Structure 1
Amino acid sequence: MARRALPTVAVVALLALLPISAHADDTPGVPSGTPVSTPVVPAETPADTPDSTPPSTPPAETPAPPATEEPTSTPTGTPTDQPTGQPTTQPSLAAEALAISLDQPATTWEDRPMTFTGKLNNGATNWYLSLWQALPSGWTLRGATQSTTGGAYKITYTPTGPIRTTFRVVVGPKFYGTPAMSPARIGTAQDRRIVITKPAASYVALTGVAVTGTTVPAQPGLEVVLQDLLGSGAWRWLTSVKTDAKGNFRLPFPDNFPSSRSVRVVSRGVPATAVEVSASAYVVVKAGLNPKVYAVAASMVPKTYRAGCPVGPSSLRLLTMNHWGFDGLLHKGELIVRDAAVQKMITVWTANLNAKFPIRRMTRVDVFGGSDVRAMEADNTSMFNCRQVTGDPYSLSPHSYGYAIDINTVENPYLAANGVWYPKNGLAYRTRTPARPGMLFAGSTLTKALDAQGYFWGARWAKPDYQHFEPK
């Protein structure tokens, strides 16, 4: 509906009745950024209080406030009855109706400022302008400022969540009854979020399980935290990393034991209002042998192989696999084994993993300089080592062929041909009772699995060797 100009006398009379300082008092919720000085405010168009609450959806056009009669004229400038100290020079609008423009605000992200700009068509300065957002509950004040040179203004508002709603700027501190209102503009703040890549149905332990994802928009250098959900309902911090140049992240997931748990990723080091929490994901880790077989080069066995040994590197294989440790966690071990025995070892150690029999350590003897004694004292489980029999320098050890295996050497010591028990830190285990973790017996899963593969257990010799198995 077209507005008719309000007579200048009426404007002066209304302004004299309503002091400018009352505007702030009558308008709760004015943001802290509102100027504290009281600018000159054009008189409000006479209007009754609306009979009903504003519409639940943003109006497409400027809502017309209820009024008993139409305005008949438009303010032509600042009234002459002004409080002391207020601006006294304002442009005149003798023929043109008072209007205020509102530029289309740029799309932003939640928790980032949205900027609203425009100008008064009369070029007035120091006029009080307020920003309003349409919500289902009605129009809500979002900010205020004063017009500057040429009637220009700028108001910023930071939404706390994603939005796509209507905004208007009005003259004065009240939405209804304002003498001028801007066109409606749609303000959009997109959802900033952390997105987790959907995990696989399950993972095998010790395979480098990780929770990956990205930030939207890309936020390089942002610290993100991986959390898991406890039975109490609380979220526990597991680990944290910083996003890369493209906002991507990779958070290592504890995969040294079987587990199934809900996880999420949370941003850290940002204001509380800017913290983002991803959707939760479910990660499943299962125990598995995960055997890998590799060729062996001479450089891999520098201390356990030398020219003249009965088996060369080309006939050996490096077998890596998972095993249970004494700490109740899964560990990755390695054996240098004869090529023809690889499949037998995989069968044996699969059975052992399922039985959860603990292994202290499993690594090549080269780590110990090729010394069988040092390897035994370290409680190491191993196979290939081209050497003489410990305690008998005249015999070649069965380990020289890559078939024999020693297991948990401290918990399973042996009596050498020279009558000495090895290793010295395993003497407490010469007596086989009581049974303790890591000790082998005839009924042990490992013993039975090796026997099924054609191995003989050294514990049955006259000089018992509880750690040793070799082909029959």
Structure 2
Amino acid sequence: MSSPRRYAVSFLALSLALTVALTAGCGNDPSPRASGAVRATTPTSTAVPTTSGPTTSAPTTSASTAATKGSATTARRTTSTPVRKATTRHTPSSTSTPVRAPKPVTALGPVPRAGAEPSVRFPRNEPAVGSGANASVGAIPDAAWAKMIGYSWTAGCPVGRSQLRWVRVNFWGFDGKRSRGSIVVNASIADEAAAAFARLYELQFRIRQMKPMDSSWGRNPKGPGADDYAAMEADNTSAFNCRYVGGEEASKVYSKHAYGTAIDVNDFENPYVADDGTVYPDRYFLTRRGPAPGVFSSSGSAAVRAFTSQGLRWGGLWSNPDYQHFDR
């Protein structure tokens, strides 16, 4: 064999041996570089063992989510639902009559004639002002004070104008009409007097007239002050009058009226008995002390208590009774 031929056989054998070696080392997989493809990487997974029973899907909720749902469920179970109360609708009856407030009384019947009466049965009184008793307390008006000077007030009296008050109040007259009256009292009992007369109004207690003691009554023939005897005969209700004790002027002892701390109401129906037994102004009602219009019948009567509840005492309990009199 020639040398070139031997070289060719040797090269062929070497190529065959190299091919066999490469095939044994790499297997049948084509080289990635040769094919140009990129091999995907598959993550390693853990196999889940299976059982012979039915397959159950594992829950995907996390522990914190489960706890939150549990709390919400508990809250829903413990929260009470408010219960609505049944509402009853009242259907007004077609036959019901609405209740109306009673109308205020504006007049009463006149008081029947009694066995004895003052000279003027129904004196002309000032008409009432406002509703109810409408009591007021204030300073004495100049015009009223001018009529008092020299009559119910004179120099030397124990009190002056500044210590007195002007009380105005509505009252029920013997004629059945609502009237308005005025009295002058000491400032220390002014509010009490106003309250007492307001109570008499509520009781529909009758008052003949209520006018201050002044020049209209004239001068007292038995001493200082306006004429109290004329006022008693006229059945006038009054208070301040700078005079001596009635029927006892010789003693020259000032009455409580001279201080404005005494009030006389309905003199004719509530007479006064002096120390000598004389009855002023009339004896008719002295023994007729039962309940009657304008009469203070007993210490327990509502009319008397209108004054005594204000801290005033009643002269009807004295040994020589003075049924018309209240003082402090």
TM-score normalised by the chain length of structure 1? 0.38
Larger C-alpha radius of gyration, 1 or 2? Answer: 2
Cα gap change, 1:433 to 1:292, in 2 (>3 Å): closer
* Residue 157 of structure 2 is aligned to residue 301 of structure 1: no
**SS of residue in 1 equivalent to 2:300:** coil
Gaps in structure 2 of 5+ consecutive residues: 1-102, 107-125, 219-225
CA distance in 2, matches of 1:349, 1:408: 13
**SS of residue in 2 equivalent to 1:388:** coil
Partner of 2:278: 420
CA distance in 2, matches of 1:391, 1:325: 28
Cα gap change, 1:443 to 1:306, in 2 (>3 Å): same
Higher helix share: 2
- 1:296 Cα shift? 4.9
Partner of 2:300: 443
CA distance in 2, matches of 1:257, 1:321: 8
**SS of residue in 1 equivalent to 2:306:** helix
**CA shift digits 1:355-401 (9 cap, x unpaired):** 11010010012121211100000000000000011111212111000
Question: Matched residues, percent identical?
Answer: 38
Gaps in structure 1 of 5+ consecutive residues: 1-201, 206-254, 259-284
Partner of 1:454: 311
Say whether the 8 Å CA contact 2:166–2:182 is kept in structure 1.
yes
Cα gap change, 1:257 to 1:431, in 2 (>3 Å): same
CA distance in 2, matches of 1:294, 1:204: 30
Say whether the 8 Å CA contact 1:414–1:465 is kept in structure 2.
yes
Say whether the 8 Å CA contact 2:316–2:323 is kept in structure 1.
yes
CA distance in 2, matches of 1:418, 1:383: 24
Say whether the 8 Å CA contact 1:440–1:466 is kept in structure 2.
yes
> Quick one: which of 205, 213, 235 aligns to 1:357?
205
> Quick one: which of 215, 234, 242 aligns to 1:378?
234
What are the residue-to-residue correspondences of 1:423-434 with 2, within 5 Å? 423=281, 426-434=282-290
Say whether the 8 Å CA contact 1:296–1:316 is kept in structure 2.
no
CA distance in 1, matches of 2:212, 2:178: 18
What are the residue-to-residue correspondences of 1:217-236 with 2, within 5 Å? none
Partner of 1:288: 133
Higher strand share: 1
Partner of 1:389: 245
Residue type at the aligned position of 1:462: S
**SS of residue in 1 equivalent to 2:308:** helix
CA distance in 1, matches of 2:163, 2:327: 18
Higher relative contact order (Cα pairs below 8 Å, separated by 6+ residues) = 2
- 1:341 Cα shift? 1.5
Cα gap change, 1:306 to 1:325, in 2 (>3 Å): same
CA distance in 2, matches of 1:343, 1:386: 21
Say whether the 8 Å CA contact 1:405–1:469 is kept in structure 2.
yes
**SS of residue in 1 equivalent to 2:139:** strand
Partner of 1:193: none
